[in-house]
Amino acid sequence: MTQRVLILCQRKSSTLPQDKDKVDKTVDSINTYMGDNLGEVVDIEYLTTHAHHPDHSVDETNYDADYKFSLNNNREAINFVAKHKGVYDGIILNTCPLNYLNYTMIYALLKPDGFLLLKLSMKTM
């Protein structure tokens, strides 16, 4: 059975020379962690935005994610939650600015027995 996991605050690729390697290593670490802990069949999706990113060169043209918006009370987020309510087995908050997150929306995305993992750094994952 395929498990669905949503990674918040993480790009799945970058074309910026200054962080391409870091993003690639982080995504590789996520994939390894998922394989080691959830098995071989995991569907990993990425939701992030360039808002609040410490590197101001990050914008919509130089990174890839499945969903590019802020998970807050905006039209895109409300529609996303309505379509994805209760579908994720797990959500990882990867180095997210925790005070900007809408935990009600995050909780709504999880299955009843789903997990929420908060990571400050992918180095220990």
- pLDDT digit string, tens, across residues 19-68: 889 899 999 999 888 888 887 789 999 998 876 666 677 767 778 889 99
Give yes or no for a contact between 10 and 94, defined as CB atoms under 8 angstroms apart. yes
- Specify whether the CB–CB gap between 3 and 41 falls below 8 A: yes
Average pLDDT over the chain reads: 86
Strand order of the β-sheet with 88-94 is 67-68, 42-48, 3-8, 88-94, 110-119
Task: Give the other-Cβ count within 10 Å of 83's Cβ.
Answer: 8
Question: Please, what is the end-to-end C-alpha distance for the chain in angstroms?
Answer: 24
Average pLDDT (92-110) is 88
Expressed as residue numbers, the domain containing 95 is 3-124
Q: Is 32 helix (H, G, I), strand (E, B) or coil?
A: helix
pLDDT at 125 over 60: no
Look up residue 88 and give its amino acid. Answer: Y
Question: Which of 52, 51, 48, 3 minimizes the C-alpha distance to 23?
Answer: 48
Number of domains in the chain: 1
Tell me what pLDDT residue 53 has: 67
Beta bridge partners of 3: 42
